[in-house]
């Protein structure tokens, strides 16, 4: 049996008619950039998240950067985020001219530790960027409490958490703003690059719309030096067609995760731990295992695809040497990077595929002693 890491073709097959007719409508209307399909998706996604506004963007990375610019972040500022995230979170901060200040993760949830955040705050700190990593909401209450007490803004990196809930509310509704990615493999994926900022702040919306469209106030009146980071109509139409399936597909991921939990119980590895107040939507199902690289190779030999998210924490990447951190700066993130492994996880994974993954793992790592 072959078990892929994700299966985007199965997703398309499940919604083929809706998605293809949505695409043909955009083509018929030639509504390629901006326009009614973008507006419709923005309205529907904002209401899905439980906030007043959404602004579609060209990617999750541009959503993060535009939100930071709207918050007034720039040179001389510091923005605190996780050491164990995808590089895009840090890049977005760097491209505003601000400095990314990294903090270590919580050992159990892989999410940012509020205690570490508090220690990293200086006079220059402007924004906190918790990442809802792997689809599990960060523990937002302590982070929001710190932000309020220290007079800081909060931008959620919700790129992996479309639809996840914390204390009954959707990710994206906690911070002053939140950034989503709709990269094809995300839980809500476009057919290309796309993203969105969601917020209750109308001032941010105005500023983001200005920056993302060449600083344009009207046809040839440009107020600031901006970017071309708009969402296109085809992606918006695809996203709106898929949004109706998101809760069902997140539900299937959660069922698949609980099947893995029971199939893998007793094996010599650690399965994911979920906060009591959180509804994890398993963008990734990440286990922790000794001799991870050997285990991955043995799985690959049996046609089971796995991933590592992420093998090198941000502070140890060549691109971020300039920050001056080194090995030992963030022991939890570094320890996890050597042992984490993402198992095949997608809404349409079958029970047989999961049983096969579990049987291979039992053969490779054995039972807990
Ligand atoms: C995917 C991702 C991003 C970037 O999104 P793109 O749409 O690929 O630009 C940012 N942060 C995290 C945590 C992500 O997983």
Tell me which residue range forms the domain holding 170. 8-243
Domain assignment present for 3: no
Q: Which of 243, 273, 293 is at the close of a domain?
A: 243
Cβ–ligand 1 distance for 160 under 6 Å, the answer: yes
Q: Residue 239's pLDDT is what?
A: 98
Report residue 70 as tokens: 């709207």
Q: Which residues, 6 or more positions from 21, have their beta carbon under 8 angstroms from its beta carbon? A: none
Residue 104 DSSP label = P
Q: Are 15 and 71 contained in the same domain?
A: yes
Q: Are 196 and 266 contained in the same domain?
A: no
Query: Which mutation among 89, 158, 333 tests ligand 1's pocket best, with the greatest number of atoms within 8 A of CB?
Result: 89
Stretches where the chain sits below pLDDT 50 are: none
Sequence-distant contacts of 276-280: CB under 8 A, at least 24 apart: 277/137, 277/139, 277/166, 277/167, 278/136, 278/137, 278/139, 278/164, 278/165, 278/166, 279/137, 279/164, 279/165, 279/166, 279/254, 280/134, 280/135, 280/136, 280/137, 280/164, 280/254
Q: Report the predicted TM-score, pTM, of the whole model to 2 decimal places.
A: 0.98
**Which of ligand 1's atoms lies nearest the C-alpha of 63?**
9
Q: Are 315 and 236 contained in the same domain?
A: no
| Cα dihedral 203→144→332→339 (10° resolution) | -70
Cβ–ligand 1 distance for 195 under 6 Å, the answer: yes
Rounded to the nearest angstrom, the distance between the alpha carbon of 31 and the centre of ligand 1 is 26
CATH code (residue 361): 3.90.1150.10
Q: Are 44 and 117 contained in the same domain?
A: yes
- 166 pairs with which residues across the strands? 169, 278
Q: Are 230 and 333 contained in the same domain?
A: no
Q: Which of 180, 211, 243 is at the close of a domain?
A: 243
Cβ–ligand 1 distance for 196 under 6 Å, the answer: no
Domain assignment present for 15: yes
Cβ–ligand 1 distance for 85 under 6 Å, the answer: yes
Q: Which of 243, 260, 282 is at the close of a domain?
A: 243
Q: Are 209 and 104 contained in the same domain?
A: yes
Cβ–ligand 1 distance for 110 under 6 Å, the answer: no
Q: Are 86 and 185 contained in the same domain?
A: yes
Domain assignment present for 104: yes
How far is the C-alpha of 174 from the C-alpha of 51, rounded, in Å?
9
Q: Are 85 and 163 contained in the same domain?
A: yes
């Amino acid at each position: 049996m072959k078990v892929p890491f994700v299966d985007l073709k199965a997703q398309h097959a499940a919604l083929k008619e809706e998605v293809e007719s949505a695409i043909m409508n955009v083509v018929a209307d030639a509504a390629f950039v901006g326009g009614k399909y973008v507006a419709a998706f923005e309205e529907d996604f904002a209401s899905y998240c439980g906030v007043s506004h959404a602004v579609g963007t060209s990617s999750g990375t541009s959503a993060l950067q535009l939100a930071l610019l709207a918050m007034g972040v720039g040179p001389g500022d510091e923005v605190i985020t996780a050491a164990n995230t995808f590089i895009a979170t840090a890049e977005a901060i760097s491209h505003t001219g601000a400095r990314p200040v990294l903090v270590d993760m919580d050992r159990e949830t892989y999410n940012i530790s509020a205690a570490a955040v508090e220690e990293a705050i200086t006079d220059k700190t402007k924004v906190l960027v918790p990442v809802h990593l792997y689809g599990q909401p960060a523990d937002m209450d302590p982070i929001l409490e710190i932000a309020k007490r220290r007079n800081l803004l909060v931008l959620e990196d919700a790129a992996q958490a479309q639809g996840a809930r914390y204390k009954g509310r959707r990710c994206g509704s906690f911070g002053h703003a939140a950034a989503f990615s709709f990269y094809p493999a995300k839980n809500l994926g476009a057919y290309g690059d796309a993203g969105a900022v969601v917020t209750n702040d109308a001032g941010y919306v105005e500023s983001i719309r200005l920056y993302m469209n060449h600083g344009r106030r009207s046809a040839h009146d440009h107020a600031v030096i901006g970017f071309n980071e708009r969402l296109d109509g085809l992606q918006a139409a695809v996203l709106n067609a898929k949004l109706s399936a998101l809760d069902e597909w997140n539900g299937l991921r959660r069922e698949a995760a609980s099947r893995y939990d029971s199939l893998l119980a007793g094996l010599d590895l650690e399965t994911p731990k979920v906060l009591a107040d959180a509804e994890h939507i398993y963008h990734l199902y990440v286990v922790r295992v000794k001799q991870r690289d050997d285990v991955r190779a043995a799985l690959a030999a049996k046609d089971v695809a796995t991933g590592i998210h992420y093998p090198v924490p941000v502070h140890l990447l060549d691109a971020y040497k300039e920050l001056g951190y080194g090995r030992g700066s963030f022991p939890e993130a570094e320890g996890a990077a050597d042992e984490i492994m993402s198992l095949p996880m997608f809404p349409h994974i079958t029970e047989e595929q999961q049983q096969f993954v579990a049987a291979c793992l039992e053969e490779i790592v054995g039972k807990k002693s």
